[in-house]
Copies of this chain bind each other. A is one copy, B any other.
Amino acid sequence: MTTNQQIEQWGIFELALDGSAAGNPFQDVQLVAHFAYKHRTVAVDGFYDGDGVYCVSFMPDVQGEWRYRTQSNLDALDGVEGSFTCMAPGAGNHGPVRVANTYHFAYADGTPYKQIGTTCYVWNLQGTELEAQTLATLAQAPFNKIRFCVFPKHYRYNENEPEHYPFPCLAQGSSAWTGSYQVDIKEGWRFDFERFVPAYFQHLEDCVAKLCELGIEADIILFHPYDRWGFATMRAEQDDRYLRYVVARLAAYRNVWWSMANEYDLMPHKSMADWDRFFRVVQESDPYQHLRSIHNCREFYDHSKPWVTHQSIQRPDPGQAVLWRSQVKKPVVVDECCYEGDIPNGWGNISAREMVHRFWQGTAAGGYVGHGETYLHPDAILWWSKGGVLHGKSAPRLAFLRELLEAGPPSGLDPIGGVVNALPCAGKMHAYYLIYTGVAQPALLEVTLPEDEEYRAEVIDTWGMSVTPGELYGGQAEIAMPGKAYHALVLRRVEQ
Which A residues have a C-beta under 8 Å from some C-beta of B? 338, 341-347, 349-351, 353-354, 375-376, 421-423, 437, 439-446, 478, 481, 483-485
A55 to B118, CA, bound (A): 73
Q: Is the CB of B350 within 8 A of A443?
A: no
Q: Is the CB of B351 within 8 A of A485?
A: yes
Q: Knowing A350-B441, A441-B350 touch, does A345 contact B485 (C-beta < 8 A)?
A: no
5 tightest A-B contacts by CB? A346-B422, A342-B443, A342-B483, A351-B485, A354-B439
> Does A441 lie within 8 Å of B485, measured CB to CB?
no
Closest to A347 in B: B422
Q: Do residues A346 and B423 form an inter-chain contact, with CB atoms below 8 A?
A: yes
Q: Which residues of B sit under 8 angstroms from A422, Cβ to Cβ?
A: 345-347
Bound state CA distance, A485 and B421, in angstroms?
Answer: 29
Task: For the complex formed, measure the closest distance between the CB of A398 and the CB atoms of chain B, giving whole angstroms.
Answer: 17
Complex: how many Å from CA A440 to CA B442? Answer: 25
User: Complex: how many Å from CA A34 to CA B345?
Assistant: 63
CB pair B484–A344 under 8 Å, yes or no, is no
Q: Whole-angstrom distance from the CB of A387 to the nearest CB of chain B?
A: 20
Besides A346-B423, A351-B439, A354-B439, 8 more A-B contacts (Cβ < 8 Å) are: A342-B444, A343-B443, A344-B442, A344-B445, A346-B422, A346-B440, A351-B441, A354-B485
A322 to B353, CA, bound (A): 26
A-B contact pairs, 13 of them (CB 8 A): A341-B441, A342-B442, A342-B444, A343-B442, A343-B443, A344-B421, A344-B446, A346-B421, A349-B440, A349-B442, A350-B440, A350-B485, A354-B485
Task: Chain B residues near A446: list those with CB within 8 A.
Answer: 344
Kindly identify which residue among B344, B351, B440, B483 contacts A444, using a CB–CB cutoff of 8 Å.
Answer: B344
| Contact of B351 with A484 in the complex, beta carbons under 8 Å | yes
Q: Which residue of the partner chain, among B347, B350, B483, contacts A439 with CB atoms under 8 Å?
A: B350
Chain B residues closer than 8 Å to A351, beta-carbon distance: 439-441, 484-485
CA distance A346 to B350 in the complex (A): 25
Give bound CA distance, A342 to B485, whole Å.
9
Minimal beta-carbon separation of A28 from chain B (angstroms): 50
